[in-house]
Structure 1
């Protein structure tokens, strides 16, 4: 029963449109908070709060690259989350061009 509760809690994270969008974007590549702010039009504290919740449920991890913290998906061991994300639309058109990575963070 504990495992079922854990899965239910993780799936609840997907019930929020912003968190679901964050996870869907992370399917394409790692992103930093400031890129999410630009893409989603949500405040930095708001994005950080969503990422904190996703991290606490083991759905994302963070890594420092210079002065920026980047987030990545950690759902390899969660087939029920991977299954949902496989059916999400492709949002790669919302991502900045590769040569402009981090440009949002520099302003």
Structure 2
């Protein structure tokens, strides 16, 4: 795999687990256009900071978001190289499926 990130089974599982929750997807959609602080994310999503912190930790542990502290605020942004690494992982399945012969059709006589 030609990526600066090495995917291990654990990072693959963490990445897809992080993508499996609707609230986390909403967070990623908000971060798609700009870096946001936790308070802005809470306002946009209408959720408590404690609930959001749990989801942000999951996204951060999966490497999908980055955080930086500025004063007392923590700002989050997408970690695009990790998305690329997961995308490359999935692309391998597509590439390999194109190399495999098609199974015989059950209706063929």
TM-score range, shorter chain: 0.5 to 0.7
Change in 2 beyond 3 A, CA 1:48/1:81: same
- TM-align CA RMSD: 2.1
Q: Is the 8 A contact 1:75 1:82 kept in 2?
A: no
Aligned to 1:49: 54
Q: Does 1:61 align with 2:66?
A: yes
Please state how far the C-alpha of 1:37 moved relative to its aligned partner. 0.9
**Under a length normalisation based on structure 2, what TM-score does the superposition of the two structures give?**
0.65
Max Rg structure: 2
Runs of 5+ consecutive residues of structure 1 not aligned to the other structure: 84-107
3-state SS of paired residue (2:8): helix
Q: Deviations over 1:44-69 (max 9, x none)?
A: 10011111111111111111122211
Please state how far the C-alpha of 1:21 moved relative to its aligned partner. 0.8
Q: Is the 8 A contact 1:10 1:57 kept in 2?
A: yes
**Under a length normalisation based on structure 1, what TM-score does the superposition of the two structures give?**
0.66
Aligned to 1:21: 26
Q: Does 1:76 align with 2:78?
A: no
Runs of 5+ consecutive residues of structure 2 not aligned to the other structure: 1-6, 89-109
Q: Is the 8 A contact 1:26 1:73 kept in 2?
A: yes
